[in-house]
Amino acid sequence: MSIVVTAATGHLGQLVIDELLQRVPADQVVAVARNAEKAAGLAERGVEVRIADYNDPAALATVFGAGDTVLLISGLEPIRRAQHQSVIDAAKAADVARIAYTSVLGGPEADFDLAADHIATEQAILDSGLPYTFLRNGWYHEVYTDQIAVQLEHGVVGSAGDGRIGSASRRDYAAAAAVVLTGAGHEKTAYELNGDNAWTLAEYAAELSRQSGQDVAYNNVPGETLLGILTGAGVPEQFAPILVDVDAAIERGLLAGRGSNLSRLIGRPTTPLADAIAAALQQ
């Protein structure tokens, strides 16, 4: 019986593996990855690597075993709903003990486009009859701090108004996943997860200005304008409207946060936004 992490070489997956190795021996952890070369570093740490792609049901059928605990990390492709179903089907066929899924803050109440696949996946897991844990992650600091180079040059642009964002770091969410995967009492539970302190994009721009020594403004623009900016910057045409819709959801308060489950699970305060900005500026 192992703890099996899918998408293990992605940004979140690697951090989950790292957090797991701080809690359990490496021989209890299995990393599912599409590429053996990218997973070589995990293998060097004693983690078993199994090769499978979300688009390959036959390969997925080989990566789970009876009694395993599985973390399904959500995919990024437009067809991810079908991909998730393939993972769920393989996990059910293998008779795993539990499946955890990285969902979205608000779950079925999240009425914005990005949430639709997450809501469908949660329902598919419920329909499977497998014991489950839903990790309804809020927004990540890195959604913004990964764009600091552009922000320093062009400012922070969005259409979220004064909506607040209860973000946390990827490491925070990874730590929560590791706690849930290695602990008892998390079955049939949905955790709403977000950072301890919510902030606005204007406050983000002010903090970036303070730390960088540059004047960084927040430019709040209409959704149609933001859509044109995103597509002009090379964001795929099918994904840009989803990002604009997320800003609309932020303005409606849907990503501001729902309590302190995340800090409670990880046993410490979530990473402050200021710390994430400082780390990004040092890179």
Q: pLDDT digit string (tens) for 131-148?
A: 999 999 999 999 999 999
- The whole-number pLDDT of residue 76 equals 81
- The whole-number pLDDT of residue 209 equals 98
Is residue 226 predicted with pLDDT exceeding 80? yes
In a domain, 258, yes or no: no
Total number of domains in the chain: 1
In a domain, 211, yes or no: no
Is residue 244 predicted with pLDDT exceeding 90? yes
- Taking the C-alpha atoms of residue 72 and residue 32, their distance in angstroms, rounded to an integer, is 10
Is residue 79 predicted with pLDDT exceeding 80? no
- The whole-number pLDDT of residue 272 equals 98
Is residue 77 predicted with pLDDT exceeding 80? no
Q: How much of the chain, in percent, has pLDDT values that exceed 90?
A: 95
Name the token pair of 240. Answer: 């840009």
Is residue 200 predicted with pLDDT exceeding 80? yes
In a domain, 30, yes or no: yes
- Residue 8 is part of a domain; what is its CATH number? 3.40.50.720
Model pLDDT for residues 204-213, shown as the tens digit of each residue = 999 999 999 9
In a domain, 47, yes or no: yes
- Taking the C-alpha atoms of residue 135 and residue 253, their distance in angstroms, rounded to an integer, is 19
In a domain, 227, yes or no: no
In a domain, 73, yes or no: yes
Structural domain boundaries enclosing 111: 3-137+170-192
Is residue 192 predicted with pLDDT exceeding 90? yes
Model pLDDT for residues 6-62, shown as the tens digit of each residue = 999 999 999 999 999 999 999 999 999 999 999 999 999 999 999 999 999 999 999
In a domain, 203, yes or no: no
In a domain, 263, yes or no: no
Residue identified by tokens 């840009």 is 240
